[in-house]
Amino acid sequence: MNNQPSIDTRASWTWADQISTYRFWGLLIFYLLSAVSVTILSTFLAIFLKEEAGMKYTKVGILFVLMGIGGLFGFYLAWATTRWKTVPMLIVAGLLQLMGGLLITIPGLAAVVILSGIGAFTFGLGAGVITLTIPSVIAGGRGGGEAFVITFGIIFILTRIEEMFAPTSMGALWDRYGSSLLGVTIGICLFLGLLFLLPVKHSLFNEAPPPRGYPLTPTYRDPLIVFLSCLIPFYWLYWLYRAHGEVTALAPSRSILSPRAAVLASVFAPVFVYPITLTKLNDALNSHATELGQAPYRASWVIFWCACLLNPLGMALVQSSMNRVMAGAGQPQ
């Protein structure tokens, strides 16, 4: 391990900078798969050990205590992880969680008291490191309060969704294939998480955000046609892609996503991300109008609620503002 802490370059990442990079999504998927394994194990471990290893519930309770203690000790490793080379330390944390999960879900190993105890502690230790480190790394981008709320909010929301559906899904698999599938499920989740983590850049958010986004040639569209077209499935994703590129050309802003990131974020978290992406497009257009000494085109709260309640209307209004910018720039309509 490098004995020197990572250099703080005072990089400032907006929420759009973070979400437009693989490093954010790689960390997010790694975090979620770790959380899935914790939820499933917490829900089914007691009955699994009782059925498969003949373990008394008193001993199972002790394993949960050891898991909790491991999670508490994860604080120290999490601190070291954020101070030194983060990705290698996260890989170690993932391997610890994977090893621990296997030790307490393989019946022959779980029946050995010392091995199950080590497994519970290392599983808790790895999970604790991941749970503490990922949010701190994202917050370390120093993009301000809004960036923290949006990016960490995505983690919070997806984690809550995972907690609702993971036990049900595992329960269905348990009923169909038996309890032996528990260890396989835990192992697959954690192994896949490590695979998604490996390509993440070691510098994470400690360097200046890379150039992103690319302008697309602005195109005049009738807002009514946009409204009707966006009622067609998947067309709205095409419009969203084009709009982010065209607004980048008309009113560049680091607060809007790249076209590709806008589409991916809206596909994987549409209910939560899409209204924000549309509002940010409107903010960029309003800022452009203000710079020209004009009144803002649309109130952002109007766009936000339109995006939440009636997507095509929000898109049509943003398109109308884009048309006004193009008209002001003397582009043909």
What pLDDT is stored for residue 2 in this prediction?
47
Q: For residue 62, give every residue at least 6 positions away whose Cβ sits within 8 Å of its Cβ, in sequence order, or none.
A: 117
What pLDDT is stored for residue 314 in this prediction?
92
Half-sphere exposure of 197 (CA within 13 A, CB side): 24
What pLDDT is stored for residue 8 in this prediction?
45
Listed in order, the ranges of the chain carrying CATH 1.20.1250.20 are 15-197
What pLDDT is stored for residue 19 in this prediction?
84
Burial string for 84-95 (b: 16+ CB within 10 Å, else e) reads ebbbebbbebbe
3-state secondary structure of 263: helix
Low-confidence stretches of the chain (pLDDT beneath 70)? 1-11, 84-85, 140-148, 270-271, 329-333
Model confidence over 121-148: pLDDT tens digits? 999 999 999 988 888 887 766 555 566 6
Q: For residue 27, give every residue at least 6 positions away whose Cβ sits within 8 Å of its Cβ, in sequence order, or none.
A: 134, 137, 138, 197, 200, 204
What pLDDT is stored for residue 302 in this prediction?
92
Give the tokens for residue 232.
């067609």
Q: Which of 324, 305, 301, 318 is nearest to 239 (CA)?
A: 318
Q: What CATH homologous superfamily does 15-197 map to?
A: MFS general substrate transporter like domains (1.20.1250.20)
